[in-house]
Structure 1
């Protein structure tokens, strides 16, 4: 458990340290290359040190933020290397790449990995386990859809020796910007972070992951006095001499405290059941001497050391070493073979053990493997997990396939290469870098079989735009307070602590050149919702006014003299808000009568037949449409054409590209004989059905010696007018064309119209 006060031998403790005495440091930066060098710390005077940094060349390395880094031993070359996992690139978006930096050769390498086809993330954690000699990656933000992101609870293991990924049991919480550390081999501790739900902004949970058992659990936590102090995200975590230290973080304000976690001692646990179910912050095992001990070695594992990697923010990169020494393996294991690594919930020497009821959980700690297997959609994903899944031709299942005792249990038996689905790539450049993907208006798509990939050009990256208009036209996010354009998917990474209070993705909200930002707000409610702005009412009693930069007491120097305190609103608006087009009924917020061709509860829109922006005294103008017009868009004035096939901003053209012909006063669809016209109502850009109420057809018979059959089928009642045009040939009249007019068409509707002529036998 976590507690304060005197330390005991069998309890886990959290202590808080504040008021640390600062020591003076002097730093020397040498601009010769790119990278980090862990230089010597040399004492010059009693209270003054010199710490030297060197930059290494960054050839072949990707520029990333939100990544993690771990230092591991490269056994083949007998030197250390830094493994950089995932991260976000302003050029390529969220990456699933693994990079290695060799400290011996000082060279970068983008490595090719095998195993489970992982999805990249940022804001995750990664931590090296010296016992299993793998890196464990948990949580973070995934790219979900184009311009979207999703918090995940996914857990992967990565073997840096074989460069192989594996999918493990997911964490009970989706989280990011947390920390993950191994106080001792075999048990990972995950602390704090940012959750998915609105009430999980700052997590105080301490999770544990048992590597050998592939099981998650909660460590007990004392509710007082630490509940307020513990919750945080964006902190750093390091281990030293078997203790865990948490520094800083954010819980609505920046923190500068240090938390120290002292794990319990396995040696003080006396029974087998308690030993295997212990939650002390370290992995306990039962020995052949019938004692409980902290796991330190697995038979056959070599001596190892490790450095931990934590969440790295945009503006700083820190890799803090913490040594963990593992004894050289002995010929005879000290652990009892049958029971030492038994997992909670399994039978042990006639004793059934299970997880103690530590705390309530909204969901299962360890979901059903049957459910987890069923969610995997391809062979490579199915066969690279810890769930014991098998691939049965077209689906993933737990155990054997139906009617067979054989299945693909290994990745080597899967057909084709392991590839990530194109839909996982949210960025044009990262999409086109994949051989099997193309980019279109819907995002990254798989290339259909038989099609050849063509050269495509990607739009400029969001980070390359320098104005609000350029930024929002490319579906990026503009931060006005920082004058910066970013991908929406990276918002939580680049502005994790609310550094961007003023932002937009809407071009119409961009200020004009040299225009003050607050001026884009045309109503009091929108203005006061912006923390940098306030509303200056014009005292007309109609709700008109101006949005100005300022605070609660209008202290902004530029606004002194522009508005009196009596007319200033920063958090609340005056009761009457009719946009300058009406006054309100006395002592109410109800507009008396909307004038100036406006309508709406607050006279905020133009009346039918008019267009414009009615907000804050704006003008409404009459629609300028031809006779085929059926009103216009209330904001842009673009006409809605009443007859299908009539197009143009003023409904004065025929859609010749789609077989509509120019007539004397309208447009006709050229209906070929024996080729029915079929139409289904569809929703337009605004979620409304096409507005036409009439459609005209013209059809010319193939021959004049065969009868014509006219057929119309409609799911709604429509009115029909059928006429024809004839010419005189000798003493007879010959029908040259048939004209069909359908009107009073209502939507949604399915229509089929045809003229048929068939040869008679």
Structure 2
């Protein structure tokens, strides 16, 4: 006390428990000797017995245990678990008032550390509506409302989650003509209860109790909630069936995946009929497209043939007289061109000329004099590596 208030010293109350008061004084005595006798005055040293008034000391100046007034510690200077306040110098420790929803509270303020996710308030007497936890009209507690056909993941690994040991969920299937499926997976050890409440009974009926949800999965086609056994949907703004899931007896960190789903049951006969119909329709469409393609290809070939015939018919025609010379009494020599028709761009031309047909040793090629008119496509221009009159 003298370190915090140098003008004060410690006056022990004389009960032998270390309780006292800080009063003005000096090294030798207090300023007012009538308030604190000299034998109970401590200015630079503390009393040997330090039990904060909650215990007496033995012969070795140790506090006799247990301490009174819900205090604990070697010097009875702390409040016992599940209590809050200050036990120093005769202070009083009070039990945590948490409505049975927490096992501990803040030692200084008494604010409860709620053990169920979704509870709020200093005494765990409210629901955390901000994070979608709501109270039930018939049940005590706060529940997270699970939407149908969604998978929810709850990650309980934050610092404020270290005191949690339970979490509650609620779901009401809304489709009256579809079965309901439920699945849950926990990453660490946890227990689970599953109950159901109907509009007619208004009380919970236990479906499963004390199950280990670490790897538990409520699988479809094996444990499905059938629409024939449960009345689903909403009537007069009131749900017909509500499921409650209680996950408890766990220690964070922990994550939970949970979902309720209502997917229509697959009709295999209808599926195969639809698939076969679509497949046959696809084949018919493919065959029709193939026939159309064939007709189109035939049309294009005919069009190209007509264009070629028109181009051939548009070529100029004329009458040419050819005079043949005899060399040594027989026809011979290099055939001369009769006509040269340049093509487009002037790089090639169609060359027409007379050629002599083979006679077969008879001297004349039957039946007409051994001559024929021939055409060839030749390139125009000079090429050094070819004879001048050679055609390609």
Query: Are 1:581 and 2:57 matched, yes or no?
Result: no
Question: How many angstroms apart in 2 are the aligned matches of 1:548 and 1:738?
Answer: 65
Question: How many angstroms apart in 2 are the aligned matches of 1:541 and 1:635?
Answer: 27
Do the aligned partners of 1:727 and 1:733 also contact (CA within 8 Å) in 2? no
Do the aligned partners of 2:151 and 2:257 also contact (CA within 8 Å) in 1? no
Aligned residue number for residue 538 of structure 1: 13
Question: How many angstroms apart in 2 are the aligned matches of 1:547 and 1:627?
Answer: 40
SS of 1:676's partner is strand
Deviations 1:697-718 (A, max 9, x none): 0012242444444333333200
Aligned residue number for residue 698 of structure 1: 170
Q: 2:141 aligns with which of 662, 666, 684?
A: 666
SS of 2:89's partner is helix
- CA 1:708–1:533: 2 relative to 1, 3 Å: farther
- CA 1:629–1:635: 2 relative to 1, 3 Å: same
Aligned residue number for residue 286 of structure 2: none
Q: 2:230 aligns with which of 719, 726, 733?
A: 733
SS of 2:175's partner is coil
Do the aligned partners of 2:55 and 2:63 also contact (CA within 8 Å) in 1? no
- CA 1:719–1:547: 2 relative to 1, 3 Å: same
Aligned residue number for residue 744 of structure 1: 249
Do the aligned partners of 2:155 and 2:256 also contact (CA within 8 Å) in 1? yes
Aligned residue number for residue 155 of structure 2: 679
Aligned residue number for residue 192 of structure 2: 720
**What stretches of structure 2 of length at least 5 have no aligned partner?**
201-226, 233-240, 267-392
Task: State the shift of 1:543 in Å.
Answer: 0.6
Aligned pairs (5 A) from 1:335-484: none
Q: 2:38 aligns with which of 559, 565, 570?
A: 565
SS of 2:130's partner is helix
- CA 1:585–1:714: 2 relative to 1, 3 Å: farther
Question: How many angstroms apart in 1 are the aligned matches of 2:48 and 2:252?
Answer: 40
Moved over 6 A (4+): none
- CA 1:532–1:755: 2 relative to 1, 3 Å: farther
Question: How many angstroms apart in 2 are the aligned matches of 1:713 and 1:552?
Answer: 69
Question: How many angstroms apart in 1 are the aligned matches of 2:116 and 2:173?
Answer: 24
Task: State the shift of 1:590 in Å.
Answer: 4.0
Aligned pairs (5 A) from 1:305-324: none
SS of 1:710's partner is strand
Do the aligned partners of 1:671 and 1:677 also contact (CA within 8 Å) in 2? no
Deviations 1:425-469 (A, max 9, x none): xxxxxxxxxxxxxxxxxxxxxxxxxxxxxxxxxxxxxxxxxxxxx
Do the aligned partners of 1:676 and 1:755 also contact (CA within 8 Å) in 2? no
Aligned residue number for residue 553 of structure 1: 28
Do the aligned partners of 1:723 and 1:740 also contact (CA within 8 Å) in 2? yes
Do the aligned partners of 1:533 and 1:550 also contact (CA within 8 Å) in 2? yes
- CA 1:749–1:601: 2 relative to 1, 3 Å: farther
Aligned residue pairs: how many? 230
Aligned pairs (5 A) from 1:481-560: 526-528=1-3, 530-554=5-29, 557=31, 559-560=32-33
Question: How many angstroms apart in 2 are the aligned matches of 1:739 and 1:648?
Answer: 23
TM-score (norm 2): 0.52
Question: How many angstroms apart in 2 are the aligned matches of 1:712 and 1:527?
Answer: 61
Question: How many angstroms apart in 2 are the aligned matches of 1:528 and 1:592?
Answer: 29
- CA 1:699–1:677: 2 relative to 1, 3 Å: farther
Q: 2:92 aligns with which of 619, 630, 633?
A: 619
Q: 2:111 aligns with which of 638, 643, 650?
A: 638
- CA 1:537–1:645: 2 relative to 1, 3 Å: same
Aligned residue number for residue 274 of structure 1: none
SS of 1:747's partner is coil
Do the aligned partners of 2:152 and 2:257 also contact (CA within 8 Å) in 1? yes
Structure possessing the higher radius of gyration over alpha carbons: 2
- CA 1:595–1:604: 2 relative to 1, 3 Å: same
Deviations 1:618-663 (A, max 9, x none): 1223333323243433332223322211222222221222211112
- Structure whose residues are more often helix by fraction: 2
Task: State the shift of 1:582 in Å.
Answer: 0.4
Q: 1:628 aligns with which of 101, 115, 132?
A: 101
Deviations 1:79-125 (A, max 9, x none): xxxxxxxxxxxxxxxxxxxxxxxxxxxxxxxxxxxxxxxxxxxxxxx
Question: How many angstroms apart in 2 are the aligned matches of 1:584 and 1:642?
Answer: 38
Aligned residue number for residue 259 of structure 2: 754
Aligned residue number for residue 336 of structure 1: none
Question: How many angstroms apart in 2 are the aligned matches of 1:707 and 1:527?
Answer: 76
SS of 2:259's partner is strand
Deviations 1:149-181 (A, max 9, x none): xxxxxxxxxxxxxxxxxxxxxxxxxxxxxxxxx
RMSD: 2.8
Question: How many angstroms apart in 2 are the aligned matches of 1:542 and 1:569?
Answer: 15
Do the aligned partners of 1:543 and 1:580 also contact (CA within 8 Å) in 2? yes
Do the aligned partners of 2:153 and 2:255 also contact (CA within 8 Å) in 1? no
Task: State the shift of 1:571 in Å.
Answer: 2.0
Question: How many angstroms apart in 2 are the aligned matches of 1:748 and 1:547?
Answer: 47
- CA 1:639–1:680: 2 relative to 1, 3 Å: closer
- CA 1:682–1:731: 2 relative to 1, 3 Å: closer
Question: How many angstroms apart in 2 are the aligned matches of 1:602 and 1:617?
Answer: 12
Question: How many angstroms apart in 1 are the aligned matches of 2:229 and 2:262?
Answer: 21
Query: Are 1:596 and 2:93 matched, yes or no?
Result: no
Aligned residue number for residue 76 of structure 1: none
Question: How many angstroms apart in 1 are the aligned matches of 2:242 and 2:264?
Answer: 19
